[in-house]
């Protein structure tokens, strides 16, 4: 389905999720976060590139751990390493998988099922998101932003979501690739 077709169907309210593929577990416990090793950040940045081609294979649990939210929620005191205006911590990370959509629970370090459907095709208008092994969705809860003026909440939340997305862009290659193999 082309980007224009997806955009038109979305505007008409006709873009629908697909049935879940495989087991929609109610929770997915993630392995402990890896905090050491990996490719040095500057090498990961040098090798960074965008791609619209993805393997359709399911991600192993170790990679799912990396992609699910730890870069935004890795402090042991419950704080996040990504900035948030007035510490509102308004962004929740959702993971859209073929087996369902999950919300990342930072305290339990697990993914909790929120929809037993394959929502990847409705998380973006580009056709390649339909088949990517996962899609990360950042959702702002404006109710957590009581100290932020109402007129500024959308822009503050957008900046916070952008900071988290940028953090993934910088950290994932450094964590995911072994130091010897690099991003190639």
CB 90 within 8 A of CB 84: yes
pLDDT at res. 164: 86
pLDDT at res. 167: 80
Work out whether the CA dihedral 34, 39, 45, 47 comes out positive or negative: negative
CB 148 within 8 A of CB 88: yes
pLDDT at res. 33: 67
List per-residue pLDDT tens for the chain, 184 residues long: 777 777 787 778 778 888 899 888 999 888 776 666 677 778 877 877 777 777 777 777 656 665 555 555 566 676 777 888 888 989 998 999 999 999 988 878 889 999 999 999 888 888 888 888 888 899 999 999 999 999 999 999 999 999 888 887 777 666 655 544 444 4
What pTM, to 2 d.p., does this model score? 0.81
């Amino acid at each position: 389905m082309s980007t224009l077709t997806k955009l038109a169907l979305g505007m008409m309210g006709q873009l629908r999720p697909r049935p879940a593929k495989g087991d929609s577990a109610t929770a997915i416990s993630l392995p402990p976060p890896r905090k050491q090793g990996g490719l040095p950040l500057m090498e990961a940045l040098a090798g960074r590139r965008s791609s619209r081609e993805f393997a359709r294979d399911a991600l192993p649990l170790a990679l799912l751990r990396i992609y699910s939210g730890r870069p935004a929620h890795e402090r042991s005191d419950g704080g996040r390493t990504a900035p948030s205006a007035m510490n509102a911590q308004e962004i929740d990370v959702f993971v859209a998988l073929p087996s369902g959509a999950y919300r990342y629970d930072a305290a339990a370090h697990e993914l909790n099922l929120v929809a037993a459907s394959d929502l990847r095709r409705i998380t973006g208008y580009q056709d390649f998101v339909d088949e990517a092994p996962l899609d990360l969705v950042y959702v702002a809860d404006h109710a957590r932003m009581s100290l932020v003026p109402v007129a500024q909440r959308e822009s503050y939340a957008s900046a916070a979501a952008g900071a988290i997305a940028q953090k993934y862009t910088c950290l994932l290659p450094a964590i995911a690739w072994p130091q010897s193999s690099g991003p190639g």
